[in-house]
Amino acid sequence: MSLLELAAWQGLIHSDGWVEGSAGQALVVEPATGAELARVGVAAPSDVSRAARLAANAQRDWAAQPYVARAAVLRRAGQLFIEHAQEIADWLVRESGAVRPFAEFQTQVAAEECFAAAALAAEPYGQLLRTALPRLSMARRVPVGVAGVIAPFNAPIVLAIRAIAPALALGNAVVCKPDPRTAVSGGVVFARVFEEAGLPAGVLHVLPGDAAVGAAVVEAPEIRVIAFTGSTGAGRAVAGLAAKHLKRVHLELGGNSALIVLDDVDLETAVSAGAFGSFNHAGQICMATSRHLVHHAVADDYVRALAAHAEKLPVGDPTGPVALGPIIDAGQRDRVHALVTGSVEAGAELVTGGTYDGLFYQPTVLAAVTPDVPAFSSEIFGPVAPVTVFHDLDEAVRLATATPYGLSLGILTRDVMAGLALAERIPTGLVHINDQTVNDESNAPFGGLGDSGTGSRHGGAAANLEAFTETQWVTVRGDLPQYPF
């Protein structure tokens, strides 16, 4: 029996394919075809209040369990992601428009995140402190209580599980608000996996909903930490609301990542990397290569080769043999197209692409892109590769730092040490020498700077402990001291 068939049998999903919600139902639509896949319940802010209270009550017993018990649930969840990888990937392909390799990558990452979180449960959680008094003094990490996770549509498995798994492993309960456009692959899947893995009832709540539901997650007094992934604009709103309620918030926001191509590269290999960085998942990745900064000596050849790669990439229904699936919806497609047309009007050269059929946007290459062109300064979130020429390393640094984003950086060069030296001059959360900008591993700290977020808040034991625990000072005396009062 499949994971979601079992959900229907247990009543999580009704026989006609929807989940109950106080705000009614929403259609789950396949962007490639417009077909209705399911109907899901939509949460209201009142659902968040109730879920947060239930989560806070359930969290105490969950945190009190031995770490080995929590680790066992996470290991079982990881195994379930492996066992049901095909079914989950099918939903990712149809619901989010991901091509199958990207969908399968997400299920693999989900399993790895769960296994890493299982190990996190056993990490040392404190330190002994020196003290001038006759007592034992220590600092220990304790669960925050309830963590709120707000995740987007573009990689719904990866961008939620990297917060859900470590938060649970460290003894927290979780209230997760997925994007309603990916409510099954980014929501119901987690509810089913963790229920089947043995997570106690009430520890995880999944509430698809709109911005008002997200605001309710931030405002709920039981939820003490917010892990938000989304646009920079929405992140600012979340941060402002969290500050009003004196809550910690971990923001992983937009990107406008640069790929710097020096003149000593093997051109064909460099172009292949650049094409992947810009066109993978139709560019709907925060780390996407949004700016190709290319040395003038190879720039013309780079543009020609990049356009040739773009023109060979098949675009279409991701259930078939294509390289790019659809943009998630018409609103996002129109935003991408406006950036392309606005850039051409501002002086950029449209080398190839710039057209669409329905939600299928052709891989696009723009040349002669300068810093005053919209495609240079904005997060595109579509399959567009803007190329800007530089003449020396100082100019490359100026161009790379000419936007407020600071998520990922790629530098392609045969001189690795020169690449490292160049990277030190460009503030960014992630740096990849001789690779494109889209990289992620469960054991590596992940996060951006500036308009890209609040630093490394996910990945690796240190970052996850910092994100989902509080530091508590504890002292212990053998006898009660005498005070002169």
Is residue 114 within 8 A of residue 74, CB to CB? The reply is yes
479 burial type by CB count under 10 A (0-12 exposed, 13-18 middle, 19+ buried): exposed
**Tokens at 349, concatenated:** 């050269």
Residue type, 103: A
Q: How far apart are CA 84 and CA 185, in angstroms?
A: 12
Residue of 30, 195, 222, 252 with catalytic role: 252
Half-sphere exposure of 221 (CA within 13 A, CB side): 0
Residue of 104, 286, 379, 424 with catalytic role: 286
Told to judge if 176 belongs to the known catalytic residues of this protein, a careful annotator would answer no
Q: How far apart are CA 468 and CA 142, in angstroms?
A: 9
Told to judge if 252 belongs to the known catalytic residues of this protein, a careful annotator would answer yes
Q: How far apart are CA 348 and CA 361, in angstroms?
A: 19
Contacts of 479 (CB under 8 A, 6+ apart): none
Q: Is the dihedral of CA 146, 84, 98, 119 positive or negative?
A: positive
Is residue 255 within 8 A of residue 278, CB to CB? The reply is no
Is residue 414 within 8 A of residue 393, CB to CB? The reply is no
DSSP code per residue over 92-110: HHHHH---HHHHHHHHHHH
Residue type, 470: E
Enumerate the active-site residues: 252, 286
